[in-house]
Amino acid sequence: MTETNTYDYGIIGSGPAGLTAAIIAAKQGFSVILFEKDELGGVCLNKGAIPTKTILNTVETYSKIKNSQDIGIEVNDIKLNLPKLIERENEVIKTIKSRFEKEIDEHNITFIQKEAKLIDEHTIECYGNTYKFSKIIAATGSTPKSFRGIDFDHKFILNSEDLLNINEIPQKVLIIGAGAEGIEWARIFNAMGTEVTIAEKTSRLLHSADIEISRELEKIFKEQGIKTYLSTDLESIKDKKAKLTNGEILNPDFVLITIGRHVTRFSNDNNNITYLGDAYGSLMLATFAMYQARALVSDIVFDNVFVPSVVYGTPEIAWIGANEQDLPNGSYQKVVYPLSLLAKANCDRETIGFVKVLTYKDYIIGAHIIGKEASALIHEFAIAMQNNIKISELKKVCFAHPTYSEAVYESILNLQ
- 315: which DSSP letter? S
Type and span of the H or E element at 61: helix 49-66
Spatial separation of the C-alpha atoms in residues 306 and 310, rounded to whole Å: 13
Question: CA end-to-end span of the chain, whole Å?
Answer: 69
Phi and psi at 162, nearest 5°, equal -70, -15
Question: CA torsion, points 288, 291, 297, 299, in degrees to nearest 10?
Answer: -120
Spatial separation of the C-alpha atoms in residues 216 and 197, rounded to whole Å: 18
Q: What average pLDDT values come out for the chain (416 residues) when binned by 10 residues?
A: 78 98 97 98 96 96 90 89 95 98 98 95 94 96 92 95 91 98 98 97 97 98 97 96 97 97 86 90 92 89 86 97 95 97 96 97 97 98 96 96 98 91
SS3 345: helix
Structural contact between residues 217 and 205, judged by C-beta atoms closer than 8 angstroms: yes
Spatial separation of the C-alpha atoms in residues 382 and 364, rounded to whole Å: 10
Question: Which pLDDT belongs to residue 354?
Answer: 98
Give the C-alpha distances (Å, rounded to integers) separating 69 from 18, 154, 262, 400: 47, 39, 45, 30
The residue count of the chain comes to 416
Half-sphere exposure of 3 toward its Cβ, with a 13 Å CA cutoff?
6
Structural contact between residues 322 and 305, judged by C-beta atoms closer than 8 angstroms: no
Domains, the chain, with CATH or none:
2-143+262-298 (3.50.50.60), 146-259 (3.50.50.60), 315-413 (3.30.390.30)
Question: Which pLDDT belongs to residue 4?
Answer: 61
Cα 143 off chain centre by: 15
Question: Which pLDDT belongs to residue 269?
Answer: 67
Structural contact between residues 277 and 265, judged by C-beta atoms closer than 8 angstroms: no
Question: Which pLDDT belongs to residue 3?
Answer: 59
Question: Which pLDDT belongs to residue 375?
Answer: 98
Structural contact between residues 393 and 372, judged by C-beta atoms closer than 8 angstroms: no
Structural contact between residues 241 and 249, judged by C-beta atoms closer than 8 angstroms: yes
String of DSSP letters for 95-142: HHHHHHHHHHHHTT-EEE-S-EEEEETTEEEETTEEEEEEEEEE---E
Question: Which pLDDT belongs to residue 67?
Answer: 87
Question: Which pLDDT belongs to residue 98?
Answer: 98
State the pairing for strand pair 129-138/274-275: parallel
